[in-house]
Chains A and B, each alone.
Chain A
Amino acid sequence: QVQLQESGPGLVKPSETLSLSCTVSGDSIRDYYWSWIRQPPGKGLEWIGEIQKIQKSENTIYSPSLKSRLTISADTSKNQISLKLNSVTAADTAVYYCARVSRATGWYFDYWGQGTLVPVSS
């Protein structure tokens, strides 16, 4: 059974960098694409970006609204996906989810982590 576990700081200060990891178990990250999605408290879902790392090729696609501040990477040795969002503000406060993107389901998000809440506050 595939499991995704997000981890990161409990709190980030404004103007600092938000760093999150998503550890995948039960599957190799080399076999799928992976996305980050966030949800501000009480609000809807926002897609952040995707890493398409299959074997030796890698491609990242970012939301235009976050592209200038965002980096998504993959570490196959740790079977982890990472997110770095710099210069954060209170508007970046959200639950951050990592999700698997599966060709078998038409490239939709078929497995999700439980999410991690990241407040941005001084």
Chain B
Amino acid sequence: EIVLTQSPATLSLSPGERATLSCRASQSVGTALAWYQQKPGQSPRLLISDASNRAAGIPARFSGSGSGTDFTLTISSLEPEDFAVYYCQQRGNWPLTFGQATRLEIK
């Protein structure tokens, strides 16, 4: 099973700042990695697929990069609605796995 390790566990930033979230895989997944955003009481929402492709309707301030074992989700300038929990998920190998999450909170 591929273990995804997200860091940091919690990220405290202010609106307008740049956020960089990391996801490291225990073995290579190529580019078969997605990022999801989850707000309290809501279902997760797909942000990024295949490491760097923004999903439909996702603002351009969200970008993904990486391949192999190291991946990054960047939010270029934080909006108030971006403070949420973020998960990475790999589809390179079965079983599918999620990272343990990064909580992005307002500083």
Residues of A whose CB lies within 8 Å of any CB of B are 35, 44-47, 50, 61-64, 97, 105-110, 112-115
By a CB distance below 8 angstroms, the chain B residues around A113 are 43
CB-CB under 8 A from B36, the residues of chain A are: 45, 109
Contact residues of B with A, CB < 8 Å? 1, 32, 34, 36, 43-46, 49-50, 53, 55, 87, 89, 91, 94-101
| A-B contacts, CB under 8 A, total | 56
Evaluate contact between B98 and A106: CB separation under 8 angstroms: no
* B48, closest chain A residue (CB): A108
Given A47-B98, A106-B49: A112 in contact with B91 (beta carbons within 8 A) = no
Q: Are B87 and A107 in contact (CB under 8 A)?
A: no
Flag if A108 contacts B43 (CB, 8 Å).
Answer: no
A64 touches B91 (CB 8 A): no
